Structure 1
Amino acid sequence: MSLSARRVTLPAITPIVLQKRVIKVYSEDETSRALEVPSDITARDVCQLLILKNHYIDDHSWTLFEHLPHIGLERTIEDHELVIEVLSNWGMEEENKLYFRKNYAKYEFFKNPMYFFPEHMVSFATETNGEISPTQILQMFLSSSTYPEIHGFLHAKEQGKKSWKKIYFLLRRSGLYFSTKGTSKEPRHLQFFSEFGNSDIYVSLAGKKKHGAPTNYGFCFKPNKAGGPRDLKMLCAEEEQSRTCWVTAIRLLKYGMQLYQNYMHPYQGRSGCSSQSISPMRSISENSLVAMDFSGQKSRVIENPTEALSVAVEEGLAWRKKGCLRLGTHGSPTASSQSSATNMAIHRSQPWFHHKISRDEAQRLIIQQGLVDGVFLVRDSQSNPKTFVLSMSHGQKIKHFQIIPVEDDGEMFHTLDDGHTRFTDLIQLVEFYQLNKGVLPCKLKHYCARIAL
């Protein structure tokens, strides 16, 4: 029989269809959005979907958080993690939530490692020649052959008890250890506390209230699989910088180069998303816009960058004045007093303005979105009803500056420096300090905003 006459029966090839699930994601104002997603979708892909659906600008700071209210814990879900796997570890009766918000500090340690690894907390297993820079420390974390040791005192919650004990801890690639004898690092004095492979690192949101922690800077190890509060290994640092150092080092030891790849290639998702198909970046035409001058009989291209910037600022101020006029007139000419009042209220529609929130709430919002230099918000002052407060982050600390109103020739202005620099409204003030450091410790860079889904 010829080969052409033979019949061969092949098995039917069925396409692989990924099972879809519906997940619910919450924003800070507790609005939510349901998404139908494939089972292999990553946290980064979920963020991309929400960015596109809500027309947000993608600055790579959008983050998915796992929130566990019954035990007061929260963690960043890493960009590469599978969201359905995270949900599969939740108990049936737990009211856990996924939150979507900005986290400017997510990869800040790659940009400014000097803020994350204080000298007094870092040592090395082997002898080193000369000083080791924070950048070299970071490279050691990503290396499989060498590693730095993070050490220091932490408060640890004793298993099955309500009491906390201050103990000397040592973080190595193999896990977290504590010393049974003071600050000794001898092997016979080190006792194993926790590993990273089957646990996730969480930050405590209400450690003092829920767990009787001695400070507000708590974090803990929680097993991947569902478990009760007894399975938690609770720790507490003396200050935010210390907690940030421990948590960052544990993330680096747990995920290593994967974190660096997430930082360098934010669009490499598991579910086939690519930068070409989903990145809401500016188009070529928008990036190639040029400044034009139409004031004369003939239009001309403004080639001088300084002149172009000056024209842009003037145009912006002109539009703002027109906007103030529209807000205040309602069809009638606006008196100077009405215009001044409008200038004093124009900021209320801005995303960085948070009206009547407390100092503690302002600090909570800034910490939530990352203690990165220049994260800020503006709010009403609680102590003085006629003033405002600029709350901002610098050097992993939150600072508050009072914005004082000053009157000159019947017009009201805002100032941060006792009247040396004056602004007709808060928008001008914020825009100025976004471009100039002035009396502030750094420029304003990222505003805290409550977004709705």
Structure 2
Amino acid sequence: PGAASAPQVIKVFSEDGTCRSMEVTAGAPARHVCEMLVQKTHALHDDSWSLVELHQHLGLERCLEDHESVVEVQATWPIGGDSRFVFRKNFAKYELFKSSPQSLFPEVMVSSCLDANKGMSHSELIQNFLNSGSCPEIQGFLHLKEVGRKVWKRFYFSLRRSGLYYSTKGTSKDPRHLQYFADLNESNVYFLTHGKKHYGTPTDFSFCIKPYKARSGTKGLKLFCSDPAAASPGQPGAGGRPELSTEPSLPESGHDSCFLPQRSMSDNTLVAMDFSGCTGRVIENPNEALTVALEEAYSWRKKTSHRYSLPTPGQGSLLSTTIHRTQPWFHGRISREDTQRLIIQQGLVDGVFLVRESQRNPKGYVLSLCHQQKVKHYLILPSEEEGQLYFTMDDGQTRFADLIQLVEFHQINRGILPCKLRHYCTCVAL
């Protein structure tokens, strides 16, 4: 008993490859280890820090649950392997629980065939399940790679309390056609980091079920992928990774037709207010709300026009073009591909962003932003008028003295963006 409870040494890596060895108690949960690392690295403390279990040779990773024992997870790894813990942000960690039940269980994926539920609306059906403490049956199509074969086949799956099943005859759920496939209570669900490269997945939305007893190698892995249109939090076996989504390569642009402003889920609960009088009032007229937003943008620029009052314009221009380099959201000359990877790893949640140097425009910058599980890129161009340098994303209609002002403004106001900036991607050195 004494040896079992003795402190254990674990090694944790950061995304830049640096690592730190730590001594933890045998039963230390992942949340406690994250809190220790936040203190040791003097990072900003919030709930988005997470420990990721990464199996590099298999191309698998998963975010540890808060309660999981880190030492017990490490004990399942093969000796001498390249498995490791990675300390990183995951803004989607609790997003699943913040979503509405209707988005967690989409109507097309929830079974309501029981006679008792006939006539119920989708929201009533979900609320009925939640009140009873049970879970509805989830179903949908997934691509499956059968054991010992290279081909992928599409099956209709049903996730029930008793396990995961697939139909041998179309979408039939007749007991004769349902084939038992896996017990999720005895397995972990991992995201495939290089699905197409390692496993030849037909789409980018891939994951696998790995039984506890599968120590090493690909034996025992059950590989899946879904069609892009089906990727959602309610997907069977999504394993808390509703953010697994990418977008086709798009040109970096400041105002593209495919980036028309839309309200995000988080913005739907907000209303425009006017506080110019003695008491505030709700602005119900959309045109008036837009006018107020534009006036606020102008006021913002005017208020900070003397923010960096310097002796000469040349010195002011130099400060404006360099001051952002001290900010945690600025990632320098990072590539578009690395940007996609970093934002996906840290969670495809509305408002996750970073700013980087443009690879196509030597003087420009790019604001990369996640919205509706897609990463969008907005070109920021410097310009000059009457010797005064400014930055803009909309051909000079809205101007900012520097990138810090641009980011701070869009953390409060959506502007031309589809949502406000909420979480910046960051990495810490261990």
Among 120, 140, 144, the residue aligned to 1:130: 120
1:62 to 38, 46, 49: 49
Question: Which residue is 1:234 aligned to?
Answer: 223
- For the residues of structure 2 that align with 1:88 and 1:388, how far apart are their CA atoms? 45
Query: In structure 2, how many angstroms separate the alpha carbons of the residues matched to 1:319 and 1:159?
Result: 67
Distance 2:67 2:320 in 1: 46
CA shift at 1:241, angstroms? 6.1
From 44, 61, 64, the counterpart of 2:31: 44
Asked if the contact 2:27/2:69 (under 8 Å) is kept, the reply is yes
The DSSP-based 3-state class of the residue aligned with 1:86 is helix
Q: Percent identity?
A: 50
Structure 1 letter corresponding to 2:139:
H
Question: Which whole-Å deviations, capped at 9, do the CAs of 1:363-403 have from their partners, x for residues lacking one?
Answer: 11111111111111111122222211111111222211111
Structure-1 residue corresponding to 2:345: 368
Question: Closer, same or farther in 2 for the Cα pair 1:232/1:437, shift >3 Å?
Answer: same
Measure the CA separation in 2 of the matches of 1:68 and 1:319. Answer: 52
Is 1:100 aligned with 2:87? Answer: yes
Contact 1:125/1:147 (<8 A) preserved: no
Q: Which amino acid aligns with 1:245?
A: G
CA distance in 2, matches of 1:412, 1:319: 13
**Aligned-pair CA distance for 1:150:** 1.9
User: Given that residues 388 and 403 in structure 1 are in contact (C-alpha distance below 8 angstroms), is that contact kept between their aligned partners in structure 2?
Assistant: yes
Relative distance call for 1:245 and 1:76 in structure 2 (3 A) is same
In structure 1, runs of 5+ residues without a counterpart are 1-13, 253-303, 306-312, 326-333
Residue type of the partner of 1:233? K
Deviations 1:271-303 (A, max 9, x none): xxxxxxxxxxxxxxxxxxxxxxxxxxxxxxxxx
Q: Distance between the aligned counterparts of 1:115 and 1:364, measured in 2?
A: 25
**Residue number in structure 2 paired with 1:194:** 182
C-alpha separation in 1, matches of 2:225 and 2:347 = 19
Please give the secondary structure, in 2, of the residue aligned with 1:246.
coil
**Superposed counterparts of 1:293-372, under 5 Å:** 321=308, 335-372=312-349
Q: Secondary structure at the match of 2:67?
A: coil
Return 5+ residue gaps in structure 2 as ranges.
Answer: 242-278, 281-299
> What SS is found at the alignment partner of 2:159?
strand
Instruction: Give the letter aligned to residue 60 of structure 1.
Output: D
Aligned to 1:246, which of 235, 242, 247? 235
- SS state of the match for residue 202, structure 2? coil
Matched, 1:170 2:158: yes
Q: CA offsets per residue over residues 56-102 of structure 1, 9 Å max, x none? A: 22221111110000100000110001111101110113110101111
1:110 alignment partner in structure 2: 97
1:428 aligns with 2:418: no
Change (3 A) 1:70 1:143: farther
Matching residue of 2:257: none
CA–CA distance in structure 1, aligned partners of residues 418 and 44 of structure 2? 27
Paired amino acid for 2:28: I
2:193 is matched with: 205
Contact 1:151 1:169 in 2 (8 A): yes
- Alpha-carbon distance in structure 1 between the residues aligned to 2:84 and 2:307: 40
Which position in structure 2 is the counterpart of 1:308?
A: none
TM-score normalised to structure 1 length: 0.75
- Check whether the contact 1:116–1:248 (CA below 8 A) recurs between aligned residues: no
Measured on the aligned residues, the alpha-carbon RMSD in Å equals 2.8
The SS at the match of 1:41 is coil
Q: How much has 1:349 moved relative to structure 2? A: 1.6
What is the alpha-carbon distance in structure 2 between the residues aligned to residue 143 and residue 249 of structure 1? Answer: 23
Question: Structure 1 227/358 Cα, relative in aligned 2: closer, same or farther at 3 Å?
Answer: same
TM-score, reference length from structure 2: 0.79
SS of the residue corresponding to residue 133 of structure 1 reads helix
Q: Write out per-residue CA displacement over residues 183-215 of structure 1, whole angstroms, 9 at most, x where no aligned residue.
A: 112111111111112110000000000111111
SS in 2 for 1:438: coil
Structure 1 residues 320 and 46: CA distance shift in structure 2, 3 A: farther
Deviation at 1:120, TM superposition (A): 2.3
Partner of 2:244: none
Alpha-carbon distance in structure 1 between the residues aligned to 2:132 and 2:87: 31
Question: Match for residue 414 of structure 1?
Answer: 391
SS at match of 1:124: coil
CA drift at 1:411: 2.0
In 1, Cα distance between the equivalents of 2:188 and 2:36?
25
SS in 1 for 2:321: helix
Q: Which has the higher helix share?
A: 1
In structure 1, C-alpha distance between the alignment counterparts of 2:152 and 2:181, rounded to whole Å: 15
Q: 1:51 to 1:235 in 2, by over 3 A?
A: same
Question: In structure 2, do the counterparts of structure 1 residues 394 and 169 end up closer, same or farther at CA, with 3 Å as the change threshold?
Answer: same
Q: Retained in 2: the 8 A contact 1:218–1:235?
A: yes
> 2:181 and 2:428 mapped to 1: Cα distance?
39
Match of 1:86 among 60, 73, 82: 73
Q: Number of residues paired by the alignment?
A: 369
Whether contact under 8 Å (1:42, 1:80) holds in the other structure is yes
Residue 132 of structure 1 aligns to which amino acid in structure 2?
H
**Which range moves more in the overlay, 152-161 or 123-132?**
123-132
Superposed displacement of residue 426, structure 1: 0.4
- Displacement of 1:222 in angstroms is 0.4
